[in-house]
Homo-oligomer: A and B are copies of this chain.
Amino acid sequence: MPTVASLGEFGLIARIARMTPTAPSVVEGIGDDCAVLRIGDRLVLVSCDLSIENVHWRRSHALAESIGWKAAASALSDIAAMGGAPLFCLVSLACPDDTETSLVDGLYEGMLDAVKQCGAVIVGGDTTRSADGIVIDVVVIGEPVGDRYLTRKGAQPGDALVVTGRLGLSAAGLHALESDRGDLSETDSTRPAASEKPRLLRAHCHPTPRIQEGQWLAARPVVHAMIDISDGLIQDAGHLAEAAHLGVDVDQSMLSVDPDLMSYCREGGLDPYDFMLAGGEDYELAFAVAGGRSDALVQAFRGKFHTDISVVGTFTDAWQGVRIAGEPPSKTGFDHFRQP
C-alpha cells in the first residue's frame, strides 16, 4: 500500500490538487504560497502553516515565546512570498490537558509579537485537547499591496535567480541544537567555542518574515516570480523553475557565506554550502529578475533595506529542474515526509 512517505510532501499536494475542483473566484488555488481569492472586488491572500511538537520543534530547544514566534513567522512568510500585507491571523492550538498555562501564555506572547511586528492581529482560532504533543496551525489572511502580487510562476529564460539575506544560518542553528542536545540553550553563550552559536540559534528560533522587502519587490515589474525559502534554496529555486517549466542553474560561488556559519562549520569539519543550499527555514526570499536588470535592482534594494542580497543563478529553457554549476545537485533540501 503506498504511504504518504512514498509519495512525499509535494507528491501528496499534487494528488490533493488533482482531486479538488476549483471555482472562478479562486485566482490562485492549491500549490502556491498563498491562495488568492476574489471576494467582491477585493483580492484576498490566505495561507496556513502547521507547527508540530517533535516534528518542527522540541520543547527542550527553545523558549515557548520563540516557538510561538516561529510558528507565526513561518505562516506570515507565505504572505511575504507573494509581496502581500498580512492583516489577520487565526490560531488553532491543540495541547495535552496537562500543559501548563504558562507555556500556552508563552506561545501566544511569541505569536502576538510576530503578528504585531508584521502589522496584523490575531482574531480567532480554535483550542482543543491533543492526544500527544502540541500542534499549532497559524492561518494568515492578507491582501496584495497596490495592483500586483507575485506567485511562483513567471520566471523566464535568462532571468536571474536572486536571494535576500544569508542562507544556512537556521539549518546550522538546528544542527547545533541537535548535536549539542542538553548542554545548549538559547542563553548559553558562555563557552568561547560557542560564541557564534547564538546568532545561528536566533536565526533558527526567531526568523523574520521579509514582509516589507516582499512588498517592495512585488511592486517592481522586473521581478517575475517569488517564493520564500522554507525548504532550502535548492528545493525552493526548484519550485520557481518547475512552475515556469524551466531549469535553473545555481552558482554557489555567488552565495556569500556568513562568517558565523563559516566559523561554526570550520570548527565541526562541516561544509557551509550544505546548509546554504539544502538547509531550510531561512524564510529569505528567492525571486526571478528580468535578464540584465538584476544589478540595478540589487543596488536599489541594498540602498532601501541595508540587507544582503545576491544574484545566485540563472533560469534557462535548456533543461528542467535545478543544477549547481551545471550539474544535478547531490543534496536536496528538506521534504517534510522525506528528510535527507
Contact = CB atoms under 8 A, between A and B. Distances in A.
Q: By DSSP majority rule, is chain A's interface helix, strand, loop, or mixed?
A: mixed
A44 B47 contact: no
Counting every copy of the chain, the complex holds 2
Interface in A35-70: 35, 37, 39-42, 44, 46-50, 52-56
A29 interface: yes
A286 to B, nearest CB: 20
Interface residues of A, number: 78
B127 A95 contact: no
Interface in A245-284: none
A302 interface: no
Given A42-B42, A92-B137, A87 B54 contact: no
Given A5-B97, A50-B94, A128-B9, A112 B35 contact: no
A124 interface: yes
A336 B20 contact: no
A46 B121 CA distance: 14
A3 B126 contact: no
A40 B37 contact: no
B88 A16 contact: no
Given A35-B124, A112-B20, A100 B2 contact: yes
Contact of A29 (B9, B16, B25, B124): B124
Contact of A40 (B22, B42, B55): B42
Interface stretch (A101-109, A152-160, A220-228, A305-313): A101-109
Counting chain B CB atoms within 10 Å of each CB, which of A6, A90, A100 scores highest?
A90
Contact of A12 (B5, B127, B143): B127
Interface in A1-29: 1-7, 9, 12-13, 15-16, 19-23, 25-26, 29
A30 interface: yes
B133 A15 contact: no
Interface in A127-146: 127-133, 135, 137, 139, 141, 143
A122 interface: yes
| Pairs A-B, 3 closest by C-beta atoms | A35-B124, A5-B97, A35-B123
Contacts of A29: 123-124
Counting chain B CB atoms within 10 Å of each CB, which of A4, A34, A95 scores highest?
A4
B87 A122 contact: no
